[in-house]
Amino acid sequence: MIRLILTLPLIALFQCSTDETVAAYGAADQIWALQEINGQPFPARALLRFPEEGRIEGNAPCNGYSGTLNAPYPWFEVTDLAATRAACAGLEAEGMYFAALLAMTQSEVSGDVLILRNEDGHEMVFTAAE
């Protein structure tokens, strides 16, 4: 009986996983619209969401996408990025978007603004979509 009492708290401890990604620090429950990359207005529509712990998804100029996010805040790292394969006039902008997103290593949420950046000084600015 005593062994069971001592084991239950340990089981509970290992089953309680908390989200330490940017989603847990204000980015969840929002749809983020890209405004600019490296200070330049982005010429197309791109959306980013954090639907569940450790995941991103969104709509690039042509295709829907999803990926894995597991770096603790304020770090940001997308892996396993996958997208649909539709063609459209915005494929060049989409390529810029995906390249920039994959290069980001840090995140910051301030109210309705999400900023992703990396150590090379590159930056993506998103605002909460209405």
According to CATH, what is the number of the domain 19-128?
A: 2.40.128.270
Q: How much is the pLDDT for 81?
A: 97
Report the alpha-carbon distance of residue 104 to residue 116 in Å, rounded. Answer: 6
Two structure tokens written together for 24: 């847990």
82 neighbors 65 (Cβ within 8 angstroms): yes
The residue type of 118 is N
Q: How much is the pLDDT for 70?
A: 85
pLDDT tens for residues 11-65? 443 444 577 899 989 899 899 999 999 999 999 999 999 999 999 999 999 999 9
pLDDT tens for residues 85-130? 999 999 999 999 999 999 999 999 999 999 999 999 999 999 999 6
Q: How much is the pLDDT for 39?
A: 97
Sign of the C-alpha dihedral computed for residues 30, 21, 65 and 93 taken in this order: positive
Question: 41: cis peptide before it, omega within 30°?
Answer: no
Q: How much is the pLDDT for 19?
A: 78
Cα distances (angstroms) measured from residue 128 to each of 14, 32, 93 = 34, 5, 20
